[in-house]
Amino acid sequence: MKTINLPFKMTSRGKPLTAASLLILLMKVFSGSSLTCHPAEYQTGNECCPMCPPGSRVKTDCTEFRSTSCLPCLEGTYMNQPTGLKNCFPCTNCNTGSGLKIKTSCTSTSDTVCEPLEGFYCMDVKDKGCEAAQRHRHCEPGQYISKKGTASTDTECSDCPDGTFSDGTFTSCQLHTQCESINLQLIRPGTATD
């Protein structure tokens, strides 16, 4: 078997390119095509500008002669992290018509946190708060409340056993009156609802 040794150079139009020249060329091509900003900076055009702190937004981007200019978030808006954005986020509205109320009010650095109103439970939990709530289930006549609803769980209902009744609001079924035990005559037997 015969070994062939290739020269360690490439040519372009007859001129030799060494590995070092090729490496420099590749570095130049890739370094000029993208700008990498530090984590506390944001990119605008060909500049890396310092971010505005939480609770504020960018008024004007930096230039090579001046730093980023920031403004505080307006009432009803917030920014919970350093930013390069020109607008703060609108605060969440806890809509009472959707069964929600304010747990923690919005500040310039944090959004409103909502929780369910009394008689409602949360169906959609988001960031320690509630995004959607639903009214607790009402038990039907003939059922009792076997587990009362909470802010995070719905009411659970169970059927009354024979010889007992409930109008749906009781936490346990009530025994029917035993007419014979009090020397009365039974006219109509009780049902699960009365």
Per residue in 129-178, pLDDT (tens digit) is 999 999 999 999 999 999 999 999 999 999 999 888 888 889 898 887 77
Residue 72 pairs with which residues in a beta bridge? 56
Give residue 11's pLDDT: 43
Q: Is the pLDDT of residue 10 over 70?
A: no
Give residue 2's pLDDT: 40
Task: Judge whether 41-90 and 137-193 match in fold.
Answer: yes
Give residue 114's pLDDT: 97
CA distance 24 to 124: 55
Average confidence score pLDDT of the chain = 83
Give residue 96's pLDDT: 92
User: What single-letter DSSP state applies at residue 84?
Assistant: -
List the one residue out of 21, 86, 18 whose CA is nearest residue 56: 86
CA distance 29 to 39: 24
pLDDT band for 6, please (50, 70, 90 cuts). very low
Pull the structure tokens for residue 113: 């946190």
CATH numeric code, 92-135: 2.10.50.10
Give residue 1's pLDDT: 40
Show me where the domains of the chain are located: 41-90, 92-135, 137-193
CATH numeric code, 137-193: 2.10.50.10
If you classify domain 41-90 with CATH, what class do you get? Answer: mainly beta
Q: Is the pLDDT of residue 9 over 50?
A: no
CA distance 37 to 43: 7
Look at the pTM and tell me if it is higher than 0.75.
no
